[in-house]
């Protein structure tokens, strides 16, 4: 099974000024293409753009819902069984044998209860 890591970045709000791009649409397209090419050089593939609702403060006690547009990129991890270890900030290989050793210890047989009358459940009469 192939594993991926994802990167989510905010979408640009306006285009970069350039001599080649004269209109707003051209500037915005240039900004997106520069961003995608820059991330593509690092191995990231563009997946999609998402517009998601988020709450933000409006004044002292009020909140309002605004929409944020983000760009989603992904790239394949080094091996088919690699996992991301967020504590180390890197990629660590998954070793099933090490995971089995770190599992909970085996429990022994249950201890037999002492002979006698079982406790009653509920109200005592």
Report pTM.
0.57
Cα 26–32–37 angle (5° rounding)? 120
> Which letter does DSSP use for residue 118 in this model?
P
Spatial strand order of the sheet with 45-58 comes to: 4-10, 62-76, 45-58
- Residues paired with residue 116 on neighbouring β-strands, in sequence order: none
Q: What is the pLDDT of residues 2-46, one digit of tens each?
A: 899 999 999 999 888 888 888 989 999 999 999 999 999 999 999
The full set of domain ranges for the chain reads: 4-101
d(CA 12, CA 35): 9
């Amino acid at each position: 099974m192939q594993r991926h890591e994802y990167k989510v970045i905010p979408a640009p709000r306006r285009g970069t000024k350039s001599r080649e791009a004269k209109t707003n649409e051209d500037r915005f397209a240039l900004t997106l293409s520069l961003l995608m090419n820059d991330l593509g050089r690092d191995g990231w593939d563009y997946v999609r753009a998402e517009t998601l609702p988020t709450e933000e403060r409006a004044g002292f006690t009020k909140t309002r819902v605004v929409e944020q547009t983000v760009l989603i990129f992904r790239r394949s991890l080094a091996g088919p069984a690699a996992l991301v270890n967020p504590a180390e900030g890197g990629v660590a290989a998954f070793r099933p044998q090490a995971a089995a050793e770190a599992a909970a210890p085996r429990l022994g047989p249950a201890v037999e209860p002492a002979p006698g009358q079982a406790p009653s459940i509920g109200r005592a009469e």
